[in-house]
């Protein structure tokens, strides 16, 4: 890639970096020459991703941290600083849904489990906010930095059954726009904040909604999604990498406060 798209040498922190989407983002950045810190609840899972990156000639470290605990994130920040140096880019990929917070034939909206709701709220929004506080403070002190949040199509178009998940991702969208303005005005216009809104990707969190556990066939919901996606497929994790590299690079230097759908045309399709 030309210098406009060059991310070589950037130090990147990816929360949720051992997940399906997070690990693909980590590998994509590492292949482009970034130095990547992979954060996740389980160190072993992060280490597997880091080892795969290193085996392909990249540079990566794994650090255990739960985005629900700001103190754990602060401790992780100290580890990353000691091993890789100041962080140039924060990617907030931690998050997901929980069956306990999902409406189903067996669970009405009125009976959604409070612990499940809190888990989804914490993973998707509170965890994103906490990570932005920890690494955003460093960026504010240096007068430069870049934050990319992972939102969701559910944030832009309310979807049936996953109202809690959609609400938390909508909060991420609103927070992304607010933080972009706040950091630029109060600290430095060289700090940017943007978000990517993936369409429908099969992950461990949503597989139970989109495929039948026994047969592997699409559920009625999965079939409806494909029917309303003009490109007629689910996304693959690699589909996010190009957008991520653009937002991470100097090519998007005048871009802040936006949310980019990567959805195969789902948001553009009216159903007829």
242-to-19, 35, 55, 231, 248 alpha-carbon distances in Å: 18, 17, 22, 17, 10
CA angle 197, 5, 250 (to 5 degrees): 80
What positions carry a catalytic annotation?
A: 165
Output helix, strand, coil percentages for the chain, rounded to the nearest 5: 50, 15, 35
Per-position b or e across 86-96, b if 16+ CB within 10 A of its CB: ebbbbbbbbbb
Which token pair is 125? 């929004």
Under a CB-based contact definition with an 8 Å cutoff, are residues 160 and 117 in contact? no
How many whole angstroms separate alpha carbon 97 and alpha carbon 154?
11
**Alpha-carbon gap, residue 230 to 56, rounded angstroms:** 34
**Number of Cα atoms under 13 Å in the Cβ half of residue 9:** 2
Q: What are phi and psi of 51, to 5 degrees?
A: -65, -35
**Can you give 89-111 as a three-state secondary structure string?**
EEEECCCCCCHHHCCECCECHHH
């Amino acid at each position: 890639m030309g210098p406009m798209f060059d991310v070589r040498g950037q130090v990147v922190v990816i929360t949720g970096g051992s997940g399906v989407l997070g690990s693909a983002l980590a590998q994509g950045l590492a292949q482009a020459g970034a130095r990547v810190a992979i954060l996740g609840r389980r160190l072993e899972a992060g280490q597997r991703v880091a080892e795969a990156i290193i085996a392909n000639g990249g540079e990566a470290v794994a650090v255990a941290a739960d985005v629900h605990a700001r103190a754990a994130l602060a401790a992780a920040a100290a580890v990353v600083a000691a091993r890789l140096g100041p962080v140039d880019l924060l990617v907030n990929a931690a998050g997901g849904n929980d069956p306990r917070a999902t409406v189903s034939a067996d669970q009405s909206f009125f009976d959604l489990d409070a612990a499940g709701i809190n888990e989804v709220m914490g993973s998707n929004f509170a965890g994103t906010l906490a990570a932005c506080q920890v690494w955003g403070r460093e960026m504010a002190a240096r007068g430069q930095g870049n934050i990319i949040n992972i939102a969701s199509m559910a944030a832009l178009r309310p979807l049936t059954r996953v109202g809690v998940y959609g609400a938390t991702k909508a909060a991420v969208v609103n927070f992304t726009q607010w933080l972009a303005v706040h950091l630029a005005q109060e600290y430095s216009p060289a700090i940017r904040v943007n978000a990517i809104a993936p369409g429908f990707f099969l992950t461990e969190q949503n597989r139970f909604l989109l495929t039948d556990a026994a047969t592997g066939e699409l559920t009625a919901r999965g079939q409806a999604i494909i029917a309303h996606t003009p490109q007629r497929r689910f996304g693959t994790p690699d589909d996010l990498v190009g957008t991520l590299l653009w937002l991470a690079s100097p090519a998007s230097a005048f871009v802040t406060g936006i949310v980019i759908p990567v959805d195969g045309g789902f948001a553009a399709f009216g159903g007829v």
